[in-house]
Amino acid sequence: MLLRQLAVLALILGCTAESMQNNMGWFVTVQGLLRPETTAALYKFPEVLELEHGARITIIMLSAPSPSTVELLTWENYVFTAESNDPVELEMIASPPWNLQRLVQTAPTPLSGVYAPPAHGSGVSIYILDTGIYPDHREFGGRVRRVTDWKNEAPCFGETHGTWVASIAGGSTLGVAQNASLWDMKLPNGDNCAFYVCDAARALSWLLHHLPPAPFLVVMSWKTNGSPSLVQLCDLLHAQGAVLFAAAGNSGSVLEPCQMSPSNAGASTLSVGAVNDLDARASWSNYGPCVDIYAAGVSIIGAGTASTTALVVGDGTSAAAPGAAGVAAVLCELYKLTTPAAIEAALFEHSLQNVVTGTNVLPNFLVSLASPPPPPPSVSASIPPVVGHAHATRLVCACLALV
């Protein structure tokens, strides 16, 4: 045993200069409890900082290699190990998620490892109509705001959907528009995270009668049975300056986007389908003439609610819609766009055409920020006055499904 302890001593004394610069001291792990006289003797050594006693292990923290400590423990026949307190490296992905890398290159492979958009969505507001956003997550950096006279309940922490959606649109490392302002409009009325058509209609009506300054975007990553109320409110809000994005749905259907709301508000709302990392339409993504554009929606990393650093990975057109909204926010800042017509024109002008593979993917547009073309022509759109009867619309509650 003496030879083994002497080898440990040689190791601790032979630390390289690099090791001594990078570590936070040294420590010794001893099997079992120390005798009181041993503890007293150790505390006389100036390099001994702290002793942490456990039932089976005692840890001795040192400010420097301590030959005296090693000699004492060896002399008293303790079984121990000594090592430098080196930093622990977190096994995190250093490069941006694939969906961000794909946005800034013209082909799906090989990925460059870089996300360098031409702008970051500064000055653009994105309203997230969902289950709520966990504002303290590090992805948001204080950019999440709650509409003060809307609902101020805490998010549904059992349901990470709204937080995930928000981080895809505007997270500081996982989002497309990393400087955009994110507005939390939590739809659920209770703690079970369920919400209904009337909740969504009230949120849209609130936006209609408290118009934010342009440009502002609205993300709706959910669906319900066709609702005339939602279609009317989307149309009115679009006429007042909003650009609206809806998840196309995850049923692999060509009919559903034309029937379910809000994706069926085709005159005012962009319905977004999902693709994978090879630009193939996800097998479960809705498609067809009522899907306007596609965005990444498979294995998308986003913020979770378990902690301020929690991450989750999910699939769905729920991810594609905020991804498309994030692209629109970037283009808003890049070209100083403020009207829905100009923003939507830029979104399609920048998209990659006829690259999405799969059955019946017409129209075939994939959101993109690669190789920006010249600024799109100025598109002006007259904005009519607010129609005063929006609140008089009869609202029929029906359950909404997250997609």
pLDDT digits (tens, 9 = 90+) for 328-338: 999 999 999 99
Q: How far is CA 188 from CA 151, 193, 228, 346, in A?
A: 9, 5, 21, 33
3-11 own/partner pairs: CB under 8 Å, 24+ apart: 5/70, 5/73, 5/74, 5/80, 6/74, 8/70, 8/80, 8/81, 8/82, 9/67, 9/70, 9/71, 9/74, 9/82, 11/82, 11/83
Query: What would the two tokens of residue 45 be?
Result: 């050594």
Rounded mean pLDDT, 274-288 = 96
What is the per-residue pLDDT for 399? 56
Is 318 tagged catalytic?
yes
Percent of the chain with pLDDT over 90: 60
Comma-separated ranges of CATH 3.30.70 domains in the chain: 2-84
Q: Encode pLDDT of 218-230 as tens digits.
A: 999 999 999 999 9
| Structure-model confidence comparison of residues 337 and 199, the more confident one | 337
Comma-separated ranges of CATH 3.40.50.200 domains in the chain: 98-371+383-402
Query: What would the two tokens of residue 376 be?
Result: 């799109």
Range of weakest confidence among 38-47, 94-103, 393-402: 393-402
What is the per-residue pLDDT for 367? 98
Catalytic residue among 161, 181, 263, 351: 161
pLDDT bin (cut points 50, 70, 90) of residue 375 is low
What is the DSSP-derived secondary structure letter of residue 83? E
Query: What would the two tokens of residue 144 be?
Result: 């999440």
Q: Residue 207 contacts by C-beta under 8 Å, 6 or more apart in sequence?
A: 127, 185, 218, 237, 242
pLDDT bin (cut points 50, 70, 90) of residue 148 is low
Q: Residue 260 contacts by C-beta under 8 Å, 6 or more apart in sequence?
A: 223, 224, 225, 226, 249
Element containing residue 344 per DSSP (H, E): helix 340-350
Q: Is the pLDDT of residue 11 over 70?
A: no
Q: Is the pLDDT of residue 387 over 50?
A: no
Range of weakest confidence among 52-61, 104-113, 201-210, 252-261: 52-61
Catalytic residue among 181, 221, 318, 351: 318
Is 285 tagged catalytic?
no
Q: Is the pLDDT of residue 394 over 60?
A: no
Decide the pairing of beta strands 57-62 and 26-31: antiparallel
Q: How far is CA 247 from CA 149, 348, 374, 392, in A?
A: 27, 17, 29, 27
**pTM: predicted TM-score of the whole model, two decimal places:** 0.74
Rounded mean pLDDT, 162-168 = 96
Rounded mean pLDDT, 368-392 = 51
What is the per-residue pLDDT for 341? 96
Range of weakest confidence among 139-153, 223-237, 246-260: 139-153
Rounded mean pLDDT, 303-320 = 94
Which CATH number does 98-371+383-402 carry? 3.40.50.200
Rounded to the nearest 10 degrees, how much is the dihedral formed by the CA atoms of 304, 318, 102, 99? Answer: 20
Rounded mean pLDDT, 291-311 = 95
- Is 3.30.1330 the CATH classification of the domain at 2-84? no
Q: Name the residue with tokens 């009115």.
A: 236
Is 130 tagged catalytic?
yes
Q: Is the pLDDT of residue 269 over 70?
A: yes
Q: Encode pLDDT of 76-119 as tens digits.
A: 888 888 888 877 654 444 689 999 999 999 999 999 999 999 99
pLDDT bin (cut points 50, 70, 90) of residue 32 is confident
Catalytic residue among 130, 184, 199, 292: 130
Q: Name the residue with tokens 């082909």.
A: 107
What is the per-residue pLDDT for 13? 47
